[in-house]
Amino acid sequence: MKHRSTIGQRLTGRHRFLCEMAGDLEGEEILDLGCGFGWFEKYAVDRRCRRIVGVESNPRLVELCRKDVPEAEFLLMDAADVTPDSGTFGVLCAFDFLEHLPRGQEVALLRRVLDLLSPQGRLLLSVPYLSLLSAALDPAFYFGHRHYSAVRIDELLRSAGFRVRRTYFAGGVWEQVSMIWLYIFKWVFRREMPYQDFFERKRTSEYEGYRPQPSIGACVTMFVEAKPE
C-alpha cells in the first residue's frame, strides 16, 4: 500500500488549527504526549523552539520520527511512565491522547504531567467532542472510543489541578464522512483513499470555521488550553 511519505503531506486542517492554537513557540520547551509521526515536533523546530520532547510507545513511529526530525528528542515509552527527570516544560501537548488511556486513568495521568509543567506553563489538548453527530458517525465510538463533553473535560482538568483558559470546537459532517471513507479504504481495500484533496479541502474549511461553542458545523473535536491552578 502506498502512503504519503512526508510530514507536510500528512498535515490536515485539524493539525493546522492546533498549530495556530499553540501560538508563538520560539524559545519554548515543549513536551508532546503521544507524538505519533512527529508532525508537531517538525512544526515547533521550524518555529525555533528551544527544546521539544516527543513521547511515543510505538517503536516504528519513534524510529521514523528520529529520522524525520533529528533536531527533536523522542522517548520510546508509555506516557504514564514520564517522570520529572525529563525536565520541566512551558508547553505540554496532549493531542488526541486522553481518549486512548485506560478508562478512568485520565486524572492520574494529568496529575503526573502537571509536575512537568512550569508554574506559568500551559496544557494544550484535543479530544473527540461528545455530540450526536460525532458519536453517530464515528465507527470507533461503537467499539469504546471515548468522546468527552465540555463539562467532563473541565471536571477532569480541575481534579488534576488545572483550570481551563479557553475552549474551541471544530469539525463537522465532512470530518466524519472523510474518516469513514478513510477506514473503508484502509481496512477493506488496503489502499489510499481516493479524492483525498477534495475531502481535505472540505475538512479544512470546517476547522477554519471553529467556534467557542459547539454547533452543527463545529461539533467533532474539542480543543482546550489549560493552565495550572
Q: Residue with C-alpha cell 486512548?
A: 100
Where do the domains of the chain lie? 7-128+146-170+222-228
The answer to whether residues 192 and 3 touch, using CB atoms and an 8 Å cutoff, is yes
**Structure confidence by residue, pLDDT tens digits, 203-227:** 889 888 889 999 988 999 999 999 9
Quick one: cell of 101? Answer: 488511556
For the segment(s) 7-128+146-170+222-228, the CATH number from 3.40.50.150, 3.40.30.10, 3.30.565.10, 3.30.43.10 is: 3.40.50.150
User: Which residue, 52, 49, 51, is CA-closest to 23?
Assistant: 49
**Structure confidence by residue, pLDDT tens digits, 36-91:** 999 999 999 999 999 999 999 999 999 999 999 999 999 999 987 887 777 899 99
Q: How far apart are CA 126 and CA 5, in angstroms?
A: 25
- As a whole number, mean pLDDT of residues 149-174 equals 96
Say what the pLDDT of residue 6 is: 45
Say what the pLDDT of residue 11 is: 74
Quick one: cell of 62? Answer: 519513534
Output the CA–CA distances (angstroms, integers) from residue 160 to 6, 109, 150, in the order listed.
Answer: 36, 8, 16
pTM of this structure:
0.88
pLDDT grade for 10, boundaries at 50, 70 and 90? low
pLDDT grade for 9, boundaries at 50, 70 and 90? very low
Q: Give the mean pLDDT of the chain.
A: 90
Say what the pLDDT of residue 3 is: 37
Q: Which amino acid is at 135?
A: A
Between residues 3 and 208, the one the model is more confident about: 208
pLDDT grade for 114, boundaries at 50, 70 and 90? very high
pLDDT grade for 25, boundaries at 50, 70 and 90? very high
User: Which residue, 93, 155, 152, 134, is CA-closest to 218?
Assistant: 134
pLDDT over 90 for what percent of the chain?
Answer: 65
Say what the pLDDT of residue 20 is: 92
pLDDT over 70 for what percent of the chain?
Answer: 96
N- to C-terminal Cα separation, the chain: 47
pLDDT grade for 162, boundaries at 50, 70 and 90? very high
pLDDT at 123 over 50: yes
User: Which residue, 55, 143, 144, is CA-closest to 104?
Assistant: 144
- As a whole number, mean pLDDT of residues 115-139 equals 91
